Amino acid sequence: MLPAFAHSAVDSAVESLCNEGCKAVHGYIEQLEQNHPIALLNGLTDREKQQVLAELRSIMAVYDRCQCQ
């Protein structure tokens, strides 16, 4: 039997932020780029926050081709 995939803190944070919607995610990206705190990311290391930022940018690159509502 294969072990279950462990959902990391970064994965959980990305999922939670994305659940807020496209426009909110763009705002979170700006906040992270400017090193502004995001309450949901409290407890993550700076490296983990950079991983969240990279994931959000990657995800939004797909949606930037369509119109966000």
3-51 pLDDT, tens per residue?
A: 445 569 999 999 999 999 999 999 999 999 999 999 999 999 999 999 9
**Among the listed residues 38, 63, 62, the one whose alpha carbon sits nearest the alpha carbon of residue 52:** 38
Predicted TM-score (pTM) of this structure: 0.83
Cα(58)–Cα(69) distance, integer angstroms = 19
Considering only CA atoms, which of 59, 16, 58 is closest in space to residue 41?
Answer: 16
pLDDT band for 56, please (50, 70, 90 cuts). Answer: very high
